Chains A and B, each alone.
Chain A
Amino acid sequence: MKPIFSARDLAVTQAGVAALLFILMPILHWVDDSQYKWLSIFHGVGATLTILVSCYMLHLVYPLLRGKDGAVKRLKFVLWLVNILTLASIITANWLYIGYRAPDGARQWFIYHHPSIHLILMEYKEFVALFPLPLGIGALWILHRFGKQMEQTTNTAISSVIAILLTIMWVCLIIGFVFGLAMVKIKGV
């Protein structure tokens, strides 16, 4: 007997609800009274979207490794999106960083109350969060140059290269995201 709902429908519903609620987290910061409120919402929404789309992207690596038809094309499109979102998050991050470093800003607050949050978490996050951009653009370039070759012959070596590049990219993205969340939970910009 056929199930009433397909597994795909349930999975898509779950992912959709999770994505919507995650996006709500930064948006709810509109109740803040900071001068940099809208900028932090932009950065928060950008970073959250990047993580959500990059999770989907990482799932598209599995059909690529199995050599499924059309896997290259689909991954390429989503990787484009992730790269654009990563760049947008880096730009808003730099912009927000002005507020973070401003006199009486979050940096001063952290250094006074919890120095290790700035000296360890922030100092680590601000560099690791830049790692995904070259990794993602590198992977996109390889897909662009070797895509046709990968579709014709089951060249698993190049698929493995893409899988590793994108996995490291995703790990760096989630480091930046989680550390950012941890910091904004203690003190927002």
Chain B
Amino acid sequence: MIKQRKTGEILAVFISIFLGLSALIASHIWSITNPAAANYVLLKVGSWLPGWWGIGTYAGKEMIGLIFWIVSWIILHFILKNIQVSLKKWLTVFMFSIFALLIITWPPIYHAIWGWLPTKP
């Protein structure tokens, strides 16, 4: 008899992917809206990555996304693994949240909301 696992595990996968990617995009938008404060933190966070001096703030954004994804996944996995959830409902929610992320990541859209910095190339 095969062990029947609970679908909460799958929900943990969904939420952690969404959190990781949201953190990635949020850190990017942060560096657009407040580069002075954000770039200092982002460079510092990314500074252990080989070549960070050439990659710039992008290294920090990647690290923030990676940390949010992995840490939230581990935590959520143990919280949610014993509950059964509706996959149909959560799959729909997940699909729309990823589409929303893909739309907000399109530069003309976030610049329309948060503005273009005249000093930034």
Chain A residues at the B interface, C-beta cutoff of 8 Å: 94-95, 97-99, 101-102, 111, 115, 118-120, 123-124, 126-128, 130-131, 134-135, 138, 141-142, 145-146, 148-149, 152, 157-158, 160-161, 164, 168, 172
Contact = CB atoms under 8 A, between A and B. Distances in A.
Contacts of A99: 54
A94 B51 contact: yes
A128 B105 contact: yes
B83 interface: no
Interface residues of B, number: 38
Contacts of B34: none
Given A94-B59, A101-B54, A160 B17 contact: no
A142 B16 CA distance: 13
Given A127-B25, A142-B10, A135 B121 contact: no
A149 B17 contact: no
A118 to B, nearest CB: 8
Q: Looking at A118, A134, A142, A149, which has the most chain B CB atoms within 10 Å of its CB?
A: A134
B8 to A, nearest CB: 11
B44 interface: no
B9 A145 contact: yes
Interface string B7-21: 101100110110011
Interface of B: 2, 4-5, 7, 9-10, 13-14, 16-17, 20-21, 24-25, 28, 49, 51, 54-56, 58-59, 61-62, 65, 69, 87-88, 91, 94-95, 98, 102, 105-108, 121
Nearest to A151: B2
A161 B87 contact: yes
B13 A142 contact: yes
Given A134-B69, A142-B10, A157 B87 contact: yes
Contacts of B13: 138, 141-142
Contacts of A157: 7, 87-88, 91
Nearest to A125: B105
A151 to B, nearest CB: 9
Contacts of B55: 94, 97-98, 101
Contacts of A161: 10, 87, 91
A123 B58 CA distance: 10
B91 A168 contact: no
